[in-house]
């Protein structure tokens, strides 16, 4: 079959890679290179040029089993990295810090006695222990379904210093959303992330970064069109017609929209009421990522620096998180200090900004949970020719795992619809 995949993020790349084994696939990307690797930054160091992903992409196998298997199948090498975190207030004062004890592929978070001198830090630890003791059994018993994170921590009487000082900032950082969005997260999604092995497995990164992952996924794809300018997709009983600016219309047997839900809706010239209703349930927040060399966005005391710094400002709608790239990417360990700030609340000093990238990130809430059920029903319709994939299109925190899992599910559904196969 002739298949179009619109979008070169991880979901689009995985769908194209899987389908290209049996079909002729064309990948359409709006940027000058596939989106997964489009925003990387080249850093000169030691006579070489090293690529730094933007945003930085990491995973841990327990919550990312699909991604881990995919990397194994592709031959993508990965390495463990520390994701120990320091939390600071609006004055840059550290109020909590957890560290990593790592051995090979294992990792355990811990705090040192000096990190517990403050009463607030001790309350956070008590809250963390209480959250784990309450959330994981409730998850196993199915008691978290239909409850928001805010509802659960209130009912379980979890220590407010833990909720406001660590839990919500951590969820907002991982999900790149506001603190209010984090409070509205389904409680079972957050508990499942915690239960996936976060407290015992090392966080990992692909050694070759997003560029290597993209290159390996694109290897079998027959045709890649960057700066494609896709404007609309129109269906009929035999397939899908794809329209682009300045190019002739093209016909395909199937098309996969592997872009954000609002963008997918804009491209659908003939969306049904059911499709409109489903896609409307997926909302996005704008996301800004800065690459810079301004150490002022790290904790005020150099001794408090960790690979990740969460800056939690009273009254701010979101936390600011800064990744110390030198501590996460081993090849840059001896390079001048390099940072990547996500959801910035402060601007780096003049002359220190290296790059800026803007994205859209999906929200997870009760509306998106209902929309996922609607999406599953739409994908099960006989005769379907248009499909959706992305981190937003699979249950869980919208990360690389969800993107890969949704893409493989869509590829399997298209294969099932191929001529000569059972519907």
Per residue, what are the HEC states of the chain?
CEEEEECCCHHHHHHHHHHCCCCEEEEECCCCCCCCCCCCEEEEECCEEEEECCCCCCECCCCCHHHHHHHHHHCCCEEEECCCEEEECCCCCEEEEEEEEEECCEEEEECCHHHHCCHHHHHHHHHHHHHHHHHHHHHHCCCCCCCEHHHHHHHCCCCHHHHHHHHHHHHHHHCCCCHHHHHCCEHHHHHHHHHCCCCCECEEEECCHHHHHHHHHHCCCCEEECCCCEEEEEEECCEEEEEECCEEEEEECEEEECCCHHHHHHHECCCCHHHHHHHHCCCEEEEEEEEECCHHHCCCCHHHCCCEEEECCCCCCCCEEEEEHHHHCHHHCCCCCCEEEECCCCCCCCCCEEEEEEEEEECCCHHHHHHHHHHHHHHCCCCCCEEECCHHHCCCCCCHHHHHHHHHHHHHHHHHCCCCCCC
> Would the pLDDT of 415 be above 90?
yes
> Would the pLDDT of 127 be above 50?
yes
**pLDDT score at 422:** 39
**pLDDT score at 103:** 82
**pLDDT score at 146:** 95
- 410 burial level (CB within 10 Å; 0-12, 13-18, 19+): buried
Q: What is the pLDDT of residues 17-65, one digit of tens each?
A: 999 999 999 999 999 999 999 999 999 998 999 999 999 999 999 999 9
Rounded Cα distance, 143 and 141, in Å: 5
CA–CA distance from 65 to each of 78, 193, 200, 213, 281 (Å)?
Answer: 14, 12, 15, 16, 27
Report the share of the chain in percent with pLDDT over 90. 92
Average pLDDT, the chain: 95
> Would the pLDDT of 423 be above 70?
no
Q: What is the pLDDT of residues 280-303, one digit of tens each?
A: 999 999 999 999 999 999 999 999
Rounded Cα distance, 217 and 225, in Å: 15
Q: What token pair was written down for 272?
A: 């049904």
Give the distance from CA 252 to its chain's centroid.
29
Break the chain into its structural domains and give their ranges: 2-43+211-283+363-416, 78-205+284-362
Q: How confident is the model at residue 382 (pLDDT cuts 50, 70, 90)?
A: very high
State the CATH class of domain 78-205+284-362: alpha beta
* CATH architecture of residue range(s) 2-43+211-283+363-416: 3-Layer(bba) Sandwich (3.50)
Q: Would 2-43+211-283+363-416 and 78-205+284-362 be classified into the same CATH topology?
A: no
**Mean pLDDT, residues 328-352:** 96
CA–CA distance from 78 to each of 3, 5, 36, 60, 105 (Å)?
Answer: 31, 27, 17, 11, 11
Rounded Cα distance, 208 and 218, in Å: 15
> Would the pLDDT of 420 be above 70?
no
Q: What is the pLDDT of residues 60-117, one digit of tens each?
A: 999 999 999 999 999 999 999 999 999 999 998 999 999 998 887 788 889 999 999 9
**Mean pLDDT, residues 183-197:** 94
Q: What is the pTM of this model?
A: 0.95
**Mean pLDDT, residues 311-326:** 97
**pLDDT score at 200:** 82
Rounded Cα distance, 310 and 80, in Å: 21
Rounded Cα distance, 58 and 18, in Å: 22
């Amino acid at each position: 079959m002739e298949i179009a995949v619109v979008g070169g993020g991880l979901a689009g790349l995985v769908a194209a890679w899987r389908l290209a084994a049996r079909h002729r696939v064309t990948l359409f990307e709006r940027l000058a290179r596939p989106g997964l690797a489009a925003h990387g930054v080249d850093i000169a160091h030691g006579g070489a040029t090293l690529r730094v992903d933007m945003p930085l992409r990491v995973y841990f196998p327990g919550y990312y089993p699909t991604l881990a298997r995919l990397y194994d199948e592709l031959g993508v090498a990965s390495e463990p990295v520390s994701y120990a975190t320091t939390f600071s207030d609006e004055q840059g004062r550290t109020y909590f810090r957890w560290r990593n004890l790592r051995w090979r592929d294992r990792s355990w978070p811990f705090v040192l006695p000096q990190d517990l001198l403050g009463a607030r830090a001790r309350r956070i630890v008590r809250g963390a222990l209480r959250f784990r003791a309450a959330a994981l059994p409730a998850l196993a018993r199915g008691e978290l379904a239909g409850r928001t994170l805010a509802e659960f921590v209130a009912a379980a009487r979890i220590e407010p210093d833990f909720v406001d000082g660590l839990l919500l900032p951590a969820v907002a950082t991982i999900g790149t959303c506001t603190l209010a969005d984090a409070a509205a997260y389904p409680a079972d999604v957050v508990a499942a992330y915690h239960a996936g092995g976060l407290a015992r497995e090392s966080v990992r990164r692909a050694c070759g970064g997003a560029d290597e992952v993209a290159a390996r996924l694109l290897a079998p794809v027959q045709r890649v069109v960057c700066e494609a300018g896709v404007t609309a997709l129109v269906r009929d009983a035999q397939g899908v017609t794809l329209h682009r600016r300045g190019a002739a219309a093209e016909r395909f047997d199937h098309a996969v929209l592997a872009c954000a839900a609002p963008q997918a809706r804009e491209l659908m010239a003939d969306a049904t009421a059911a499709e409109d209703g489903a896609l409307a349930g997926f909302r996005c927040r704008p996301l800004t990522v800065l690459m810079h060399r301004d150490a002022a966005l790290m904790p005020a005391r150099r001794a408090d620096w960790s690979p990740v710094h969460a800056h939690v400002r009273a009254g701010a709608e979101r936390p600011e998180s800064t990744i110390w790239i030198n501590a996460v990417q081993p090849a840059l360990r001896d390079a001048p200090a390099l940072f990547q700030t996500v959801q910035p609340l402060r601007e780096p000093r003049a002359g220190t900004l290296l790059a800026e990238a803007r994205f859209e990130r999906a929200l997870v809430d009760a509306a998106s949970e209902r929309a996922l059920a609607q999406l599953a029903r739409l994908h099960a319709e006989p005769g379907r020719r248009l499909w959706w994939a992305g981190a937003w299109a699979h249950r869980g925190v919208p990360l690389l795992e969800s993107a890969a899992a949704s893409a493989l599910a869509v590829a399997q559904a298209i294969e099932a619809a191929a001529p000569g196969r059972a519907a």
